[in-house]
Amino acid sequence: MKLISGTAHRTLAESIAQNLGESLADVHVTAFPDGETFVKINENIRGEDVFIVQPSCPPTNHNIMELLIMVDAARRASAGRITAVMPFFGYARQDRKDQPRVPITAKLVANLLTSAGVGRVLTMDLHAPQIQGFFDIPVDHLYAKPALIHYLRERHPDASNLSVVSPDVGGVKMARAYADALGADLAIVAKHRISATRVEAMNVIGEVEGRDVILVDDMTETAGTLTAAADILHKHGARRIFAAVSHAVLGDLGRERLKASAIEEIITTDSVPQASGEKVHAVGIAPLLGEAIRRIHGGQSVTSLFEV
């Protein structure tokens, strides 16, 4: 086994290596003055099982291109198999043609990875699970739920006065899974998206008055959906408001909105380096990814990793 890290999230790659009792391979990644990426693998990987850790978080295009270049370098160095470890898969929201003359970029990225030489993809909480079908290679799709539920149970041991809330109708299935795992009730916020950064929450379906609530979503960037949902939950009498998000790809706008919102704490994973800031608690997923890599390398099942 050889573990290679790109520059997108080296801290996570080092944690994964530590959990596996391995060390990261000696790889030199740099840029030429004109911005072109250069990669050199400084050790023998011929016939090795290579895992390249590189979430496609911002700067998204740069990190995807860097991953493709690392894959090409490994393939030309005669690696036995190349697995792209992408805890966060960018472009996952562009998974269909929802208006005329637009691309399906998630499929394009899948094609680029396969053409570059990736033999398997390990990812977590895709925005649209059916993106697994965009690949003609095996995809191991992990869930952040086991890691997040463990923390939420410690934070909220009494679920009798707890409601899990989906901030939109599309996330009901995910929220239902969290509610079942916590033994909590389920509620839904109906929303209307005005633009890419603005969301107008409409109404609440379910009981939230006088209760602690946990908003559940797969990802947030500008926190528009979460904060709009938190506002309407507060107006409907929710006592304390928390959020649990698989990927917190937060920018300045998202951090400012969270700081000013009714949300007390946002629980997320460290799948991306942007998961930090005031009110943000990041749960480490290196043990989960490390165990998945160990099982993939050993030809074992990863099914039990889905269980809480």
Share of the chain above pLDDT 90, in %: 83
Fold match between 2-142+286-306 and 145-283?
yes
Question: Based on the number of CB atoms within 10 Å of its own CB, is 206 exposed (0-12), middle (13-18) or buried (19 or more)?
Answer: middle
Q: Is the pLDDT of residue 279 over 90?
A: yes
> For residue 159, what pLDDT band results from cuts at 50, 70 and 90?
confident
3 state DSSP class of 227: helix
pLDDT at 245: 96
pLDDT at 304: 84
Residue that wins the pLDDT comparison between 62 and 169? 62
List residues bridging with 53 in a β-sheet: 5, 85
HSE-up of residue 232 (Cα within 13 Å, Cβ side): 25
Mean pLDDT for 75-95 is 96
pLDDT at 131: 94
Tell me the two tokens of residue 218.
Answer: 């797969």
User: Which DSSP symbol is given to 24?
Assistant: B
pLDDT at 160: 85
3 state DSSP class of 200: strand
Q: Is the pLDDT of residue 190 over 90?
A: no
Share of the chain above pLDDT 70, in %: 96
Name the nearest CA neighbour of 86 among 107, 111, 110: 110
Please state which of the ranges 13-27, 149-163, 287-301 shows the lowest mean pLDDT.
149-163
Class level of CATH domain 2-142+286-306: alpha beta
Q: Is the pLDDT of residue 114 over 70?
A: yes
Q: Domain locations in the chain?
A: 2-142+286-306, 145-283
Q: Is the pLDDT of residue 193 over 80?
A: no
pLDDT at 198: 67
Q: Is the pLDDT of residue 201 over 70?
A: no
Q: Is the pLDDT of residue 196 over 90?
A: no
What's the CA gap between 193 and 113, in Å, rounded? 32
- Name the active-site residue from 107, 173, 191, 259: 191
40 belongs to the catalytic site: no
Name the nearest CA neighbour of 19 among 272, 271, 245, 292: 292
What's the CA gap between 239 and 207, in Å, rounded? 12
Mean pLDDT for 21-46 is 96
Q: Is the pLDDT of residue 308 over 80?
A: no
Q: Is the pLDDT of residue 87 over 80?
A: yes
pLDDT at 225: 86
Check whether domain 145-283 has CATH 3.40.50.2020, yes or no: yes
The pTM of this model reads: 0.91
Average pLDDT, the chain: 93
pLDDT at 170: 81
Mean pLDDT for 172-185 is 92
pLDDT at 306: 77
List residues bridging with 3 in a β-sheet: 24, 51
User: Which DSSP symbol is given to 14?
Assistant: H
Mean pLDDT for 4-26 is 97
